[in-house]
Amino acid sequence: MFRVSPPFELKKLGTIFKYKVLKMLLNKGKITKVMIAMLSTWKYSGFHVFYGNRIAPLFFDAQYPLTIKNIPHIFSSTERNTLSIPSQYLINKIGSCCSKSGRIQLSNPGTNRRSIMNTPNGFHFRWRQLLIMAVALSLLMAQAVASQMMSVQVKSGQARKSPTFLGPVIADFAYGDRVQILTQQGAWYQVALPSGKGQGWMHMSALTEKKIVLKAGAKDVSQAASSDELALAGKGFNKQVENQYRTRNPNLDFRQIDQMEALTVSQAEIQGFIQDGRLTAKGGAQ
């Protein structure tokens, strides 16, 4: 059996946290003043320190996603996921900060004196650890805005020089590859090419916000079942299932389908077709 402390008077805790933690991190050279400015002004990354007396699931599940769902274009789904995970992580960490000494230690920036709060149940929270997590949480969020990652969801993805299929292909991507989105123009995303080789354009239909796990372990599988943020490559209806289906339905001729897929058309051929037929196709650049 265990109990917890009564609600504290912690209205200014957010400010205290912010001050102490940022000062500490700055002294240690972990962050810069620019980052502090960013953290303090960014609308969605404030130090949301929970000081109520009851934690409902809604608090952790809904608070960030609700805000973030209003600006979905800024975040990839993975990052939206990232935003909700740290809050759970935070809960977990707070649990791990508990010790048997029965005290909560809280540094007070005003007096620079460590105040000790006794709790009846034998746990204490080490606030400093909590504070580090709070900052980490905010840094994570800041990073979420800075880089949106998406996954290639087609068998073979291409990045082109310009935002049209008529532009030459400058890089190839494999199924599940993660790409960093730089800008958007219509239905096209400008993506960073691997190993800093500049930028290219990919049509949005080739990309997904989901993270595609190529070799899913048990954890990924259970996560994918309970969320929409993860896609498992090679799971569910796959080659293995097709083969099984083919054994059960020997009358079906899949070789014809293979032949059909083998017929490919080059971009040059398409361009010739457009010109020859006096068409005005712009290669998906609407």
Partner 1 sequence: MNQISRREFLMLSGRLTILGLGAAAAGRLLAGCATLDSMAQSGITIPVAGVNVNTASIASSVKAVSKTFEDITPEQEYYIGRTIGAQILNKYRPYSKKAANRYINVMGQTLAQASDRPETFGGYHFLIQDSDEINALAAPGGLIFITRGMLRCCPHEDAVAAVLAHEIGHVQHQHGLQAIKKSRLTDALTTLAVEGTKTFGNEQLASLTTAFEDSITDITSTLINSGYSRAFEQTADVAAISILQRVGYNPNGLVDMLKQMDRQLKPGRLDFAKTHPDPQTRISQITSQIGVYQPVNLIKNRQSRFEAALKGV
Restricting to residues 253-272, name those near partner 1 by CB under 8 A.
Answer: 253-254, 256-257, 260-261, 263-265, 269-270
Q: How far is CA 265 from CA 3, 69, 227, in A?
A: 69, 40, 38
Which residue in 28, 42, 94, 146 binds partner 1 (CB under 8 A)?
A: 94
Site for partner 1 in 9-48 (CB under 8 A): none
Part of the chain binding partner 1 (CB under 8 A), chosen from 15-23, 34-42, 64-72, 232-240: 232-240
SS3 at position 39: helix
Which residue in 143, 168, 169, 172 binds partner 1 (CB under 8 A)?
A: 143
Is there binding between residue 93 and partner 1 (CB under 8 A)? yes
Which residue in 10, 26, 36, 281 binds partner 1 (CB under 8 A)?
A: 281
User: Which residues are CB-neighbours of 163 under 8 A, at least 6 positions away?
Assistant: 185, 186, 188, 190, 201, 285
Is there binding between residue 122 and partner 1 (CB under 8 A)? yes
Q: How far is CA 267 from CA 172, 204, 225, in A?
A: 15, 19, 39
Part of the chain binding partner 1 (CB under 8 A), chosen from 15-23, 67-75, 106-114, 152-160: 152-160
**Could you tell me how far CA 227 lies from the centroid of its own chain?**
13
- Reading the block at residue 236, the tokens are 């569910």
Is there binding between residue 159 and partner 1 (CB under 8 A)? no
Is there binding between residue 92 and partner 1 (CB under 8 A)? yes
Q: Do the beta carbons of residue 149 and residue 143 sit within 8 Å?
A: no
Is there binding between residue 71 and partner 1 (CB under 8 A)? no
E-strand stretches of 70-210: 103-108, 113-118, 148-152, 156-160, 169-174, 178-185, 188-192, 199-203, 207-208
Which CB sits closer to partner 1, 182 or 281?
281
Part of the chain binding partner 1 (CB under 8 A), chosen from 36-44, 63-71, 193-201, 274-282: 274-282
CB 107 to partner 1: min, Å: 19
Which residue in 10, 35, 132, 145 binds partner 1 (CB under 8 A)?
A: 132
* Residues found in the chain: 286
Q: Do the beta carbons of residue 170 and residue 193 sit within 8 Å?
A: yes
Angle, helices 77-97 vs 127-146, to 10°: value is: 170
Which residue in 44, 60, 64, 189 binds partner 1 (CB under 8 A)?
A: 60
Which CB sits closer to partner 1, 16 or 90?
90
